[in-house]
Amino acid sequence: MRRTTRLLSVVVVCAALVVLIGCRGEDCTAPSGSAFETLTAYLAANDMDIPDMLNGWIIAAADVVDNTDDYYILDIRSADDYDSGHIDGAVHSSLGNILTDAANSGGKTILVACYTGQSAAHAVIALRLSGYTDAKVLKFGMSSWNVAFDRWTANCANIGDGHANWSTDATATLADFADPDLSASSSTGAGILAERVDAMLAAGFKGIDASVVLASPGSYFINNYWAESDVNTYGHIAGAYRIKEDLTLAAGGLGHLDPTETIVTYCWTGQTSSMITAYLTVLGYDAKSLKFGTNAMIYDDLQTSRWSASADYAYVTE
């Protein structure tokens, strides 16, 4: 049976349970199903699909600077970098401790700040899957707050221009694959999710350099998380797939990902792809985010979604 059919069947079963016994928010499991089926059914029934994760997940520094008291800001840079300068009121944390420190948010919206907005995206997936459904990433990280913290400018590059592995051909043809082999000690959706979120956080930020992927694209299952019109405008890494609109539990698009390969997702800036990568890691895929996205490959060609410049907002030191 095709994986997409199986997954949709699980979702239908779980949706029926929601209606009949009110299992929304509880352990809505797939009887006799695999850990992956149980987990994905639970996620689908509790509004934790990929589109839910990407709903209002990022906010620009300009929209925060005059309203910092509205947020519980967790800064996950190193302790030394936090001490050298951070947003007034921000609490130092780390990717691994994000859930522990989030418990002190007092009901405020959690805003995660990192260096570039990329590792913060992993943290926000963990938060949103753990009940902090309005947690947000500081767009472009502390690099956007003040030039003193800029780690973006030096990573914008054009290594894709003229590269043999930057292609204007059609993206690769999609196929169907089996589920990841997901193991868990718990048998409930909530329990499996908690285990998998902990495992994702313990693994740390899963990024990969653009130069590494461009040098050997055949070593990875590469997904260009762009609209088709953008691929047609700019091209893509040779051999890449384009799975975006149906990369959801509801649409079954995850069945187009090969669980036996390392899934490299790339987008414009590496921030959205980091969200996707963290989510896929929770589901049991071997996933990585291409760091800095196409800003690291074809920066000068980009007409949109480009890093521009840091602001000059105040910060405090400790």
pLDDT (average), residues 233-257:
98
Cα(94)–Cα(82) distance, integer angstroms: 11
Q: Are 306 and 157 in contact, with CB atoms under 8 Å apart?
A: no
pLDDT over threshold 70, residue 316: yes
Cα(240)–Cα(285) distance, integer angstroms: 17
Query: What integer pLDDT is reported at residue 318 of this predicted model?
Result: 81
**First vs last Cα of the chain: how many Å apart?**
59
Query: What integer pLDDT is reported at residue 167 of this predicted model?
Result: 98
Cα(60)–Cα(34) distance, integer angstroms: 40
pLDDT band at residue 33 under the 50/70/90 scheme? confident
CB-side neighbour CA atoms (13 Å) of 130:
22
